[in-house]
Structure 1
Amino acid sequence: MKKFILILVLILHNSALAAEKDSLYISQYQNQLQKLSKYEAFFCDACGCAAGNGSSGFESLLNPQFIGIKYFAQHYKAKENLFTQDLTQNQYFNTIQVWGKIPVTQKLSIYGSIPFQFHEKKTLQGDINISGIGDANIIGIYEILKSQNEYHQLNGGFGIKIPLGRFDEKGITGVNPSFQLGTGSWDYQLALSYKFQKNLFALMLNTDYTIKTENKKHYQFGNQWNYAATGFYRLWRNENSILSGKLGLQGEVYDWNKQFAEVIPRTAGSALYGKLGFEVSYKKFSLGSELMLPAYTQLAGGDIEAKSRFSLFINFGI
């Protein structure tokens, strides 16, 4: 773990030293980008419980406003039942979502997403599959501060999750209660994002906190805190296209789930991921991908282990 963090810090440090007198942005968008906020927001892609609600966020530097489609996959290992110590059950959480980021004023933008979930877990009794629409998200993002040289920028956000996804009360009896299409609850989110950008290099620091409420079945998933540090470096550019790579860390901390206001044991936990990805654009189109692998995982009291995450998106600038 210490070696992983040390290598990451050295790479980001060397990237900053290697920056030249060029920009991460395509020249044809430069004037427009100077007027629009460049920010990052976080959101929950699945349901909001101890595992399966990974927050991948979006970190596009190439389109300040867009509509697009994103695929997000998560893999976990879980105990088959409470009477064994082995993590034998594979659980796969998959999300395809329509998302967008639209400016309202020069400083205020609105982000929204509507996901479609298709999840699977492989048990000794056979595979179990669920699919359907998930919970929608709406987040307002406000530019709090931007330096005159535009090297520094601070944004804050407030969001709400709308419970469109179906919550199955039977699903909470398993080892992973997050095997759901939705939480069944209205949840609220506070976010803060800092960006430093100079020449070929950019660094984003983000944190957000989600407050989860009790649903109609008297079940309440634990509150969630996400944090991330991501470095971007422009690798290649021509008149119409640009390619950037990114490298970073992302962590998640989950509070206890509750039912009828009583804490449910072995539902809290945390995980830390290393992530590596890229983004490429051509005119108004951008394509990006990201792979996340766990550096540390302690979910549901050790009953669940995070394995990997993968995302792929394509956006169209508007």
Structure 2
Amino acid sequence: MNKLIFILCLIVSSVGQAKTINDSIDIPESVSREMLDDCDACGCAAGNGSSGFESLLNPQFIGIKYFAQHYKAKENLFVKDLTQDQYFNTLQVWGKIPLTEKLSVYASLPFHFHEKRTIQGDININGIGDLNLMGIYRIINSKDNIHQLNGGLGVKVPLGKFDEKGISGVNPSFQLGTGSWDYQAALNYKFQKNKLALLINTDYTVKTENRKHYRFGNQWNYAATGFYQITGTEKTIVSVKMGLQGEVYDTNKQFDEVMLRTAGSALYGKLGFEASYKKFSLGGEVMLPTYSNLAGGDIEAKSRFSVFINFGI
């Protein structure tokens, strides 16, 4: 309950700031945002559950996002049933600042508080996560703004704590950070006409070996999301969205030895909304798995939920 109150306080605080600052921006019609889901999948540190970086609602912003994930896992190797509930929660500060007309810099800093409920009792970890930095370049932008293609290159700085004891569990991704410098490449395509928009995103993360000689598997993410604007004025835009998002994980390694039952994949269906008023923007999304085969079947994806509040700067 204290964690929930803490989250709500931060959100309310952001809303108040947005009302005092965001009162003079001309938001283009029919423009929607695909959230920068940099919170990591299957542990919020060992993977990167990104669905690409974004299409722009405002050219520059700063905000707060809350992201929650639920998984079922085997209690240990000697049981067949998935009885252990694992909850991964992230509160993230993020922002995007343009350097030139085509080049922007994106950054996010997460705070994780995770929990898994075992027969012996609940286990909780919390703390700062890994810092994400990415340069975003606009490759194509048609004169009528119907087509846009963006590319990005990024790095994850290992600020989050990596606990070597944690890799002995069913889910080695129950961590605050990978302990390694990881690198990401991303592409984002947007088609937009009148009240309709389509976003296609893909990114690939290369993960390196950390000081404990452990290396989480590389990860490929992909997503397709459709938007429909249900209302729009000079100051206000409200859109709904739905789509699919997939993630593919390679095997983890330790001392260059493959760790069995650490690879996997999952596919989610998602439904959400995004709304803006002047510089202030709000969005939410629910994701449910249509397919899940994580850690050789030892982990099952259950649900995800996210909400963000942003304002232009």
TM-score, normalised relative to structure 2: 0.87
Equivalent residue, structure 1, for 2:65: 70
Q: Which residue of 2 aligns with 1:177?
A: 172
Residue number in structure 2 paired with 1:233: 228
Partners of 1:244 and 1:63 lie apart in 2 by 15
Aligned length: 285
Return 5+ residue gaps in structure 1 as ranges. Answer: 1-25
Alignment match of 2:277 (pick from 274, 282, 286)? 282
- The residue identity in structure 2 corresponding to 1:154 is L
1:44 Cα deviation from its structure 2 partner: 4.5
Letter in 1 for 2:27: Y
- 1:146 Cα offset (Å): 1.3
CA distance in 2, matches of 1:29, 1:206: 23
1:117 and 2:112 correspond: yes
Aligned to 1:48: 46
Q: Could you list the per-position Cα deviations for residues 215-243 of structure 1 after superposition, in whole angstroms to 9, with x for gaps in the alignment?
A: 00000000000000001110112342110
Distance across 2 between alignment mates of 1:40 and 1:171: 30
Alignment partner of 1:158: what SS? strand
How far did residue 283 of structure 1 move?
1.0
1-structure distance, mates of 2:219, 2:51: 13
Whichever residue aligns with residue 272 of structure 2, its letter is G
Aligned-residue Cα RMSD (Å) equals 1.9
| Contact 1:27 1:239 (8 Å CA) reproduced | no
In structure 2, the gaps of 5 or more residues are 1-23
- What is the identity, as a one-letter code, of the residue corresponding to 1:120? E
Aligned-pair CA distance for 1:60: 5.9
Query: In structure 2, which of residues 26, 32, 50 is the aligned counterpart of residue 28 of structure 1?
Result: 26
Secondary structure class of the residue paired with 2:260: coil
- Is the 8 Å Cα contact of residues 39 and 155 (structure 1) preserved in structure 2? no
C-alpha contact (below 8 Å) 2:36/2:50 kept by paired residues: no
Q: 1:156 aligns with which of 147, 151, 160?
A: 151
CA contact (8 A) 1:187 1:211 kept: yes
Kindly report which structure 2 residues correspond to 1:1-318, keeping only aligned pairs within 5 A, or say none: 28-30=26-28, 43-45=38-40, 46-49=44-47, 53-55=48-50, 59=54, 61-318=56-313
Which shows bigger deviation, 229-238 or 39-48? 39-48
Deviations 1:234-274 (A, max 9, x none): 01123421100010000000000000001000000000000
TM-score after normalising by structure 1: 0.86
Query: Would the alpha carbon gap of residues 61 and 142 (structure 1) be closer, same or farther in structure 2, given more than 3 Å must change?
Result: closer
Q: SS of the counterpart of 2:306?
A: strand
In the TM superposition, residue 286 of structure 1 has moved relative to its aligned partner by 0.3
Distance, in Å, in 2 between the alignment partners of 1:213 and 1:275 is 30
Conserved? CA contact 2:275–2:282, under 8 Å: yes
- Indicate conservation of the 8 Å contact 1:236/1:243, yes or no: yes
| Whole-angstrom CA distance in 2 between matches of 1:193 and 1:227 | 10
1:211 and 1:80 mapped to 2: Cα distance? 30
Aligned equivalents of 1:149 and 1:98: distance in 2?
A: 33
Instruction: Specify the SS of the correspondent of 1:176.
Output: coil
Deviations 1:16-49 (A, max 9, x none): xxxxxxxxxx992339x9xxxx887563432124
Q: Which moved more, 1:268-277 or 1:57-66?
A: 57-66
Contact 1:133–1:181, Cα closer than 8 Å, also in 2: yes
How many Å separate the matches in 2 of 1:130 and 1:116? 11
- Letter matched to residue 30 of structure 1: P
Relative distance call for 1:213 and 1:55 in structure 2 (3 A) is same
Q: CA deviation at 1:147?
A: 1.5
Question: Which 4+ residue blocks in structure 1 deviate beyond 4 angstroms?
Answer: 38-42, 56-61
Letter in 2 for 1:65: Q
User: Structure 1 307/94 Cα, relative in aligned 2: closer, same or farther at 3 Å?
Assistant: same
